[in-house]
Amino acid sequence: MLLLLVACSEYDLADHQKDPRGREPHDTADVLVDSGDLDTGGADDTGVVPTGADSGDGCDAGRTVRIGLAADDVWEGWVDGVSFGTAESWWQATWTEAHLDCGSHVLAVYATDLHQAIAGFIAVVEVEGAVVNTSADGTWKVIPGHGGAGWKDAGFDDSTWGAGQACNRADATGWWGGSPTDLIADGAWWLWPQDCLALGDGSFRLRFEVR
């Protein structure tokens, strides 16, 4: 079972907040999810998907997973090959909530730089409120450009992909300051397939466990 829901409790992208550099967000910033593609599983009026019965110490009912992402400049994401949206907002995270079955899952993200100077991708994955992976912990697989046929799927072989390159601290803080503050506070850091001043685009894959 895979239930995905964009949760904007911390940030309202519909406000069309401006990039602090003065640029307007890309048009895709508000198109976070096509609700027709997803089974909301009886979400209530608040948009929250029920997580099922308490499974005690086991994981029979699955777990609530939250994914926080940002990219300079645009990202699009999938869990187990199912799209959960796209956004442009490097200065603040976009959080997506999912109720996932126990076991292994794959998060895939395609990020593209649209403007000059610097590029990067930053992410946090939480299971039941605990951080289990970040873009700084070496668990992501990264390749420059598009990942190729089937790269978003859970069964794709990414064994030849590398770990990417962490953005230089001075470059990153010079352009982004401490943003996005919540992801950095959780231990995440900016990642790119090559030097972050090289721009371009990249594909990112993370295999994570729900227990």
Q: Mean pLDDT for each consecutive 10-residue tract of the chain (211 residues)?
A: 42 34 37 31 30 50 95 96 94 95 96 94 97 97 97 96 96 95 97 95 97 90
What pLDDT is stored for residue 135 in this prediction? 98
**Sequence letter at residue 38:** L
Q: Which pair of structure tokens corresponds to residue 169?
A: 């601290």
What pLDDT is stored for residue 100 in this prediction? 96
Cα–Cα distances in angstroms (integers) from residue 111 to residues 19, 45, 52, 127, 192, in the given order: 17, 32, 33, 23, 9
Total of domains in the chain: 1
CATH number of the domain enclosing 153:
2.60.120
| Torsion sign across C-alpha atoms 40, 42, 45, 49 | negative
What pLDDT is stored for residue 60 in this prediction? 79
E strands of 89-159, at which residues? 94-100, 103-112, 120-127, 130-134, 141-144
Write down how long the chain is: 211
CA gap 159, 54 in Å, rounded: 36
23, 115 contact by CB (below 8 A): yes
What pLDDT is stored for residue 2 in this prediction? 52
Return phi, psi of residue 124, to 5°: -135, 140
Query: What 3-state DSSP class applies to 15?
Result: helix
What pLDDT is stored for residue 58 in this prediction? 67
What pLDDT is stored for residue 48 in this prediction? 28
What pLDDT is stored for residue 205 in this prediction? 98
CA gap 206, 197 in Å, rounded: 23
Tally of CB atoms within 10 A around 39: 13
Domain that residue 196 falls in: 2-210
